[in-house]
C-alpha cells in the first residue's frame, strides 16, 4: 500500500509529540509555567548575586517557606471545596501563643504544649466550619470575622506580647534547627503534611468527593455526598495544620508570637494556592502546583532581600502576583467578567 510522504512525516511527528504531550499532561500546564518562571527567577537572582547558590542560603529558603507552605497546602483543600479560609494566619498566631504558654505552665512539658496548640487549632477550625455550615455564612465573611476574633484572643491571653520561652527545650530546638538525613526538620514536617494531603486528594474517595463538591455542589449532593460534614472536616483539618504552623513559629522564635510571627500569612497562603492553579470557584487545584508556587514566592522574597530591595516592595510583588493569577484564571475559564463590557 502506498503511503504519501507527507502522511508519513505527519505520523512520525505525531509519534514524537505524543510522549511529550503525556509528560505535560502529567506535570500540568500550570506547573510547567511555574517551573519556567522559577527557572528564570533563579537565573536572574543568581546572576546578580552569587551568594544565592550557597548551600546556607538555599537551606534558608527551604526553612523560610515551611510555615507558608503548610498553610498553603490546607488552603488548597479549602479552595478545591469552593470555599476560602482567611483566618489561617490568626489561628497560627493563637496556636503559637497557646503552645508557649502551655509549655511554661506545665513545667516546660513540650508534649502538653504541642497538644494544647493542636487542640486550640481544632476548636478554631470547628468554629469556622460551624459558622459556615450552621450559620449559613459565606466562607469569606465568616473567616474574615474569625481572622479578627482569633487574633484578638491571641492578644488577650498574651497581653499582646511574646510569651513563654522554648529556646532551651530539646524538642523545640530539634523542630527549629534539627535535621534528618541532612534535611532540616521543618522541611520534613512540610513534606509529610503535603504528601499526606496529596495522597488523600488523589487516591481516596474523600479526595474525589472534595473535588466533586467544589466542581458542582448540587450534583455532589444528589450523589449522596454530605457536603456539610465535608466542610466541617476540611475546616477542622485546616485549623489543626494552622496550629502546627504556629508550633513551628514558636520553635523558630523561641516564644509564643500572638501577631508578629503570623501577620500576612493568610495572604501568602492564598497567593500560593492561586498561583499553583487553584480555581476560586472550586473543583480544581493540586498540591504539587501549590508547593511550586510557595517555592517561587520564597525565591522571590529571598532574592529581593539579597539584592537589597525595600521590604515593602515584597508585599507589592505578592499582591501583584495574586491579581495576575486571578486575571489569568478568569481569562482561561471563559466566564463573564465583572465590570463594564468592553
Model pLDDT for residues 222-255, shown as the tens digit of each residue: 999 999 999 999 999 999 999 999 999 999 988 8
* Lowest-pLDDT choice from 168-172, 211-215, 334-338: 334-338
3-class secondary structure for the chain? Answer: CCCCHHHHHHHHHHHHHHHHHHHHHHHCHHHHHHHHHHHHHHHHHHHHCHHHHCHHHHHHHHHHHHHHHHHHHHHHHHHHCCCCCCCHHHHHHHHHHHHHHHHHHCCCCHHHHHHHHHHHHHHHHHHHHHHHHCCCCCHHHHHHHHHHHHHHHHHHHHCCCCECCCCCCHHHHHHHHCEECCEEHHHHHHHHHHHHHHHHHHHCHHHHHHHHHHHCHHHHHHCCCCHHHHHHHHHHHHHHHHHHHHHHHHHHHCCECCCCCCCCHHHHHHHHHHHCCCCCCCCCCCHHHHHHHHHHHHHHHHHHHHCCCCHHHHHHHHHHHHHHHHHHHHHHHCCCCCCCCC
* Lowest-pLDDT choice from 12-16, 95-99, 312-316: 12-16
Model pLDDT for residues 103-133, shown as the tens digit of each residue: 988 888 899 999 999 999 999 999 999 999 9
Model pLDDT for residues 279-301, shown as the tens digit of each residue: 888 888 899 999 999 999 999 88
Model pLDDT for residues 143-169, shown as the tens digit of each residue: 999 999 999 999 999 888 888 888 788
Q: What is the pLDDT of residue 75?
A: 96
Q: What is the pLDDT of residue 336?
A: 54
Model pLDDT for residues 12-40, shown as the tens digit of each residue: 555 555 665 554 555 556 677 788 888 88
Indicate whether 277 pLDDT > 70.
yes
Q: What is the pLDDT of residue 137?
A: 94
Domains in the chain: boundaries: 65-305
Q: What is the pLDDT of residue 5?
A: 54
pLDDT > 90 fraction of the chain, expressed in percent and rounded: 50
Amino acid at each position: 500500500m502506498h503511503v504519501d510522504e507527507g502522511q508519513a512525516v505527519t505520523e512520525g511527528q505525531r509519534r514524537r509529540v505524543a510522549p511529550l504531550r503525556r509528560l505535560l499532561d502529567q506535570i500540568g500546564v500550570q506547573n510547567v509555567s511555574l517551573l519556567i518562571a522559577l527557572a528564570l527567577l533563579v537565573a536572574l537572582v543568581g546572576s546578580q548575586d552569587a551568594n544565592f547558590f550557597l548551600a546556607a542560603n538555599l537551606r534558608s529558603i527551604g526553612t523560610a517557606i515551611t510555615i507558608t507552605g503548610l498553610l498553603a497546602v490546607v488552603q488548597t483543600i479549602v479552595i478545591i471545596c469552593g470555599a476560602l479560609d482567611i483566618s489561617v494566619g490568626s489561628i497560627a498566631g493563637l496556636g503559637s501563643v497557646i503552645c508557649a504558654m502551655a509549655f511554661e505552665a506545665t513545667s516546660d512539658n513540650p508534649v502538653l504544649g504541642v497538644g494544647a496548640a493542636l487542640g486550640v487549632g481544632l476548636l478554631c477550625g470547628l468554629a469556622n466550619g460551624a459558622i459556615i455550615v450552621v450559620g449559613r455564612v459565606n466562607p469569606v465573611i465568616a473567616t474574615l470575622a474569625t481572622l479578627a476574633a482569633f487574633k484578638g484572643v491571641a492578644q488577650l491571653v498574651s497581653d499582646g506580647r511574646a510569651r513563654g520561652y522554648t529556646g532551651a527545650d530539646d524538642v523545640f530546638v530539634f523542630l527549629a534547627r534539627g535535621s534528618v538525613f541532612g534535611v532540616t526538620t521543618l522541611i520534613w514536617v512540610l513534606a509529610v503534611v503535603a504528601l499526606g494531603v496529596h495522597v488523600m486528594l488523589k487516591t481516596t474517595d474523600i479526595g474525589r468527593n472534595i473535588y466533586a463538591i467544589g466542581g458542582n455542589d448540587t450534583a455532589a449532593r444528589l450523589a449522596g455526598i454530605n457536603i456539610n460534614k465535608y466542610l466541617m472536616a476540611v475546616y477542622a483539618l485546616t485549623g489543626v495544620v494552622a496550629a502546627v504552623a504556629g508550633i513551628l513559629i514558636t520553635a523558630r522564635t523561641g516564644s509564643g508570637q500572638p501577631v508578629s510571627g503570623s501577620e500576612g500569612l493568610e495572604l501568602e497562603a492564598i497567593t500560593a494556592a492561586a498561583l499553583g492553579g487553584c480555581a476560586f470557584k472550586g473543583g480544581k487545584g493540586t498540591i504539587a502546583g501549590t508547593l511550586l508556587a510557595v517555592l517561587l514566592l520564597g525565591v522571590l522574597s529571598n532574592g529581593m532581600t539579597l539584592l537589597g530591595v525595600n521590604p515593602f516592595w515584597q508585599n507589592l510583588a505578592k499582591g501583584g502576583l495574586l491579581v495576575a493569577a486571578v486575571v489569568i484564571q478568569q481569562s482561561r475559564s471563559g466566564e463573564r467578567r465583572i465590570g463594564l463590557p468592553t
